[in-house]
Structure 1
Amino acid sequence: MTWFLLCVGLLIGGYFIYGAFVEKVFGIKTQRKTPAFTQTDGVDYVPMSKGKVYLIQLLNIAGVGPIFGPILGALYGPAAMLWIVLGCIFAGAVHDYFSGMLSVRNHGQSVPNLAGKYLGKNAKHFMNLFAIILLLLVGVVFISAPAGLLSKLTGVDVAIFVGVIFIYYLVATIVPIDKIIGRFYPFFGALLVFMSLGLTIALMLSSEHTMLPGFVMGDFFSNLNPNDMPLWPALFITIACGAISGFHATQSPLMARCVENESNGRFVFFGAMIGEGVIALIWCAIALSFFGGVEGLNAGMAGNPANVVYEASNGLLGAFGGFLAILGVIVLPITSGDTAFRSARLILAEFFNITQVELPKRLMLALPLFAIGAVLTQVDFGIIWRYFGVANQTTAVLMLWTAAAYLLRHGKFHWICTAPAMFMTCVVISFMLNSSTLGAGLPMVVSTVAGVVTTVIIAALIIIKTKGKGDVDSDEEDNTILTNDQ
């Protein structure tokens, strides 16, 4: 239990200490009007309170990723928890903060436009392609996973739940953000928090299960995978949403359009990622504790992390409590899947310069996205998840380099973004070169060396090309300030 509490304490400390440092480096301007006020349209740009925006942001980014990913990552042992803590504080939360605050500074624009502004047109086109692919994959993953769990709970055919969730997604994607998302998601966010706390307390008080049984400090630096799977670089792809996730960069601009003041950014963006890190820690600890270690987890999982959710929830909270916990896990992906399609609609709207105030124009972009999504639901879930993992971390890499370029242009301390960008670039390249199913199938040593060399070259090119170039943010071009009643 001590190790778990220490990890949680480090995450919370990271928010107050490192989060404040990141905010200072960025340089918030509390007197500047945010897009929520300057571009209010009643659909996507709607001012919301700090607490409401935080809970919506937490739900938007917390799909099945911070549950399924840490459960799969737990097969490597407590090393997974170490990556969640370090990755969340120094990579994921920084990534989320800049993806949100750069959007605030640029009229609520989506990540591809931000990449285009700070890295060039080629980066914009590349990011547009990756963001749309990622969001479609997220939407499909976050339909299949909750539909499967609902089918397991009720015995109703999974195809029926897929259809019902699809219909909900379409409605939630096109209606004004304050009608469904703004009204109900804060409640679901509270449900998520209570569910996570309930499972944690139940595990701590359980007489049948011990928190992290038999693990010592050395295990946090060791690979205990019972299937002899290499820790590098697979762990950093497997655990994405609980540590760093490119999907979050597509979600942060949604709330950047609703944030009332730049001073709310650390709580909303950095803080929501820390909250997701705590959720990831909880499920990683449950996976390692409920089944008595990695061997028991491997057997209990049977290849599907949903089995762990089902067994642990019922085992720790009983039939009724387990039902509520599983319901919370079902809500998570649904509330991220609809915002994934919403983000895809807005990215396409920016690309084709189509206003989204009128309903027919929203439908014109949403319907083709759902048609493609419907086709992808027929693809095997395991295949979709693998491609989602790679696309996800590649998007995170591009966002981190975008943030690093912004800091370089303004002569600020860019290493808070450059260092995690270099690490994740090496992870993605090494994984792609080594993977026999998604990449070249090269030996690990060759893949890693190539990853390191390529990363250094990319970093050098971006630093040389960008440093001292100078730039004026859109918010600095607009000298309007908040009035007293705002």
Structure 2
Amino acid sequence: MISFLISIAILILGYFVYGNILERIFGVNEHNKTPANRLADGVDFVVLPNWKVFLIQFLNIAGLGPIFGAIAGAMFGPVAFLWIVFGSIFAGSVHDYFSGMLSLRHEGKSISEVVGIYLGRNTQQIMRVFTVLLLIFVGTVFLVGPAKILDGMTDGFLSVWGWVAIILVYYFLSTLLPIDKVISKVYPVFGVAMLLMAVGLLGVLMFGDYHIPELTYDNLRNMSSSPQDTPIFPILFVTIACGAISGFHSTQSPLMARCMGNEKSGKVIFAGTMITEGIVALIWAAVSMTFFGSVEELNGAMALNGNNAAWAANEISLKMLGPVGGILALFGIVAAPITSGDTAFRSARLIIADTFNVSQIKFSKRLLLSLPLFAIAVALTQIEFGIIWRYFAWSNQTLATIVLWTISIYLVQSSKNYWVALIPAIFMTAVCSTYILIAPEGFGLNSALSYPIALFFTLIVLAWFVVRGKKISKVNHVNNE
């Protein structure tokens, strides 16, 4: 319990201390007119109250991530606490805050456009395709996943495909209609429900007969059932993405950058939601290690149920929170992923619109860009869910890594402290390159070969940054003379 409470305290402290540092490095100017004010179009550029923007951003980035990822990460043991805490503060907050604020400073542009500004046109073209594909993956995962959960909750009342059709209709409306017509009205309710579920679980942990394992020297190890197949590095750092750092967040931040009325709100909306998500992930990780009796028993229960995190989340919610838990589970485990899925499609539409400079004021143009996205998603539903999820997990962290390098270059160009982004960029490069080499869905190489190759690749990327940084510094020096 002590390790858990200290972890929560560090996350909260991290928001106020490190969040202020990030805000100071960026150089917020509350007198700047935001894109929502300058480019108001009544569709995507709409000023919303800060509390709504916070809850929408939280639900956008959260979805099932801090629940399912935390449950899977808890199978490694209390070491998961460390990644959630330090990942959220020193990687996730940096990634989310700067990606959101750079979008805000660049007319609310999508993340692929922001990357192009700092890493060049070739990278921009690759990122446009990469991010759209990632977002379609997210939309598909959060289309099929909730449909299966609803089918289980209703004993096959409509069938999985019946629920898929209903969710698809909702996605269609939320993607095409102005952001203040559906999303701004529905999201705050679901966001509050998800937070209430986490607070309820926290209360039961604190005052119930539960014993959260402490983070000690003895259990600072891989406690999963097959540590040789799932090494902590890099598997844990990809398993827990939302709740630590996730590239998907950078695709969602521009949506809210187009709805903010003041730059000063950036810390609470971008860094604040990241830390809040970290706290939710921490609670779910602690609950998972505790509810089943121990980390070992968690691994056993998950193995018996096909490592189905949805099953575990449902069991925990119903048995720890009772009838109220059932209602909150419906919101938190079903509604939350649906609300991430719809904004994934909305983000994909905006990226394509930015790419081809297509105005989104007319409904017909929004429809033209959205229909192919839904068609591809429906086709992808025929592929096994697990396969899509595995590739999404790696591509998601790869996107986060690219965004961190983009932020590092921006900070060099601006003659600001680039170490806040460079250190997590180096770390995540090592994580992603090792993962694709070692994972079954990648090259499936052994660790003795994967680690040195990944280290070599990471050093090459770092060398590129050093060379690029020196060129930028020379230009800055000449311009300042």
Fold shared by both chains (TM-score > 0.5):
yes
User: How much does 1:220 deviate?
Assistant: 5.7
Aligned counterpart, 1:412:
416
Aligned counterpart, 2:456:
453
Aligned counterpart, 1:475:
none
SS in 1 for 2:217: helix
Aligned counterpart, 2:286:
285
Map 1:385-396 to 2 at 5 A.
Answer: 385-396=389-400
Aligned counterpart, 1:238:
239
Scaled by the length of structure 1, the TM-score of the pair is 0.94
Counterparts of 1:219 and 1:74, CA distance in 2: 16
User: How much does 1:445 deviate?
Assistant: 2.6
Q: Answer yes or no: is the 8 Å Cα contact 1:54–1:272 preserved in 2.
A: yes
Is 1:365–2:369 an aligned residue pair?
A: yes
Is 1:399–2:403 an aligned residue pair?
A: yes
Q: Answer yes or no: is the 8 Å Cα contact 1:246–1:394 preserved in 2.
A: yes
Aligned counterpart, 1:199:
201
Gaps of 5+ in 1: 473-486
User: How much does 1:241 deviate?
Assistant: 0.8
Map 1:301-380 to 2 at 5 A.
Answer: 301=302, 302=305, 303-380=307-384
Map 1:88-237 to 2 at 5 A.
Answer: 88-155=88-155, 156=157, 157-207=159-209, 210-213=210-213, 215-218=214-217, 221-228=220-227, 229-237=230-238
Aligned counterpart, 2:2:
2
Q: Answer yes or no: is the 8 Å Cα contact 1:206–1:316 preserved in 2.
A: no
Scaled by the length of structure 2, the TM-score of the pair is 0.95
Aligned counterpart, 1:465:
468
Q: Answer yes or no: is the 8 Å Cα contact 2:193–2:331 preserved in 1.
A: no
Aligned counterpart, 2:271:
270
Could you give the per-residue CA deviations for residues 355-398 of structure 1, whole angstroms, max 9, x where no partner exists? 11000100001010000001111211111110010110011011
User: How much does 1:452 deviate?
Assistant: 1.6
Could you give the per-residue CA deviations for residues 9-28 of structure 1, whole angstroms, max 9, x where no partner exists? 11100000011001111111
Counterparts of 2:202 and 2:184, CA distance in 1: 28
SS in 2 for 1:183: helix
Counterparts of 2:473 and 2:40, CA distance in 1: 30
Q: Answer yes or no: is the 8 Å Cα contact 1:55–1:189 preserved in 2.
A: yes
Q: Select between 294-303 and 174-183 the one with higher mean Cα deviation.
A: 294-303
The CA RMSD over aligned residues, in Å, is: 1.5
The letter of the residue matching 2:287 is: I
Q: Answer yes or no: is the 8 Å Cα contact 2:171–2:341 preserved in 1.
A: yes
Q: Answer yes or no: is the 8 Å Cα contact 2:190–2:331 preserved in 1.
A: no
Percent identity over paired residues: 49
User: How much does 1:158 deviate?
Assistant: 1.4
SS in 2 for 1:223: coil
Counterparts of 2:418 and 2:215, CA distance in 1: 36
Q: Answer yes or no: is the 8 Å Cα contact 2:30–2:263 preserved in 1.
A: yes
Q: Answer yes or no: is the 8 Å Cα contact 2:193–2:328 preserved in 1.
A: no
The letter of the residue matching 1:71 is: I
Aligned counterpart, 1:79:
79
The letter of the residue matching 2:171 is: Y
User: How much does 1:140 deviate?
Assistant: 0.9
Counterparts of 1:464 and 1:176, CA distance in 2: 44
Counterparts of 1:305 and 1:250, CA distance in 2: 25
Gaps of 5+ in 2: 476-481
Q: Select between 321-330 and 283-292 the one with higher mean Cα deviation.
A: 321-330
Counterparts of 1:23 and 1:65, CA distance in 2: 26
Could you give the per-residue CA deviations for residues 6-48 of structure 1, whole angstroms, max 9, x where no partner exists? 1111110000001100111111111110101010000000011
Counterparts of 1:471 and 1:399, CA distance in 2: 24
Q: Answer yes or no: is the 8 Å Cα contact 2:62–2:277 preserved in 1.
A: yes
Could you give the per-residue CA deviations for residues 425-446 of structure 1, whole angstroms, max 9, x where no partner exists? 11000111112x3222222132
Counterparts of 1:113 and 1:237, CA distance in 2: 25
User: How much does 1:317 deviate?
Assistant: 1.2
The letter of the residue matching 1:151 is: D
Aligned counterpart, 1:479:
none
Counterparts of 2:376 and 2:361, CA distance in 1: 24
Counterparts of 1:199 and 1:386, CA distance in 2: 28
Aligned counterpart, 2:431:
427
SS in 1 for 2:403: helix
The letter of the residue matching 1:383 is: I
Counterparts of 2:396 and 2:29, CA distance in 1: 31
The letter of the residue matching 1:241 is: C
SS in 1 for 2:472: coil
Could you give the per-residue CA deviations for residues 304-329 of structure 1, whole angstroms, max 9, x where no partner exists? 01111111111101134333234322
**Alignment CA distance shift 1:93-1:219 (3 Å):** farther
Q: Answer yes or no: is the 8 Å Cα contact 1:405–1:467 preserved in 2.
A: no
Q: Select between 291-300 and 437-446 the one with higher mean Cα deviation.
A: 437-446
Could you give the per-residue CA deviations for residues 207-245 of structure 1, whole angstroms, max 9, x where no partner exists? 3xx2314x4422563111122221111111111111000
Map 1:50-69 to 2 at 5 A.
Answer: 50-69=50-69
Counterparts of 1:390 and 1:227, CA distance in 2: 20
Could you give the per-residue CA deviations for residues 165-214 of structure 1, whole angstroms, max 9, x where no partner exists? 0110010000000111112211221111111101211232223xx2314x
The letter of the residue matching 1:202 is: V
Counterparts of 1:212 and 1:219, CA distance in 2: 15
Counterparts of 2:126 and 2:44, CA distance in 1: 25
Is 1:383–2:410 an aligned residue pair?
A: no
Is 1:439–2:438 an aligned residue pair?
A: no
Number of aligned pairs? Answer: 468
Counterparts of 1:445 and 1:221, CA distance in 2: 22
Q: Answer yes or no: is the 8 Å Cα contact 1:174–1:363 preserved in 2.
A: yes
Counterparts of 2:466 and 2:24, CA distance in 1: 21
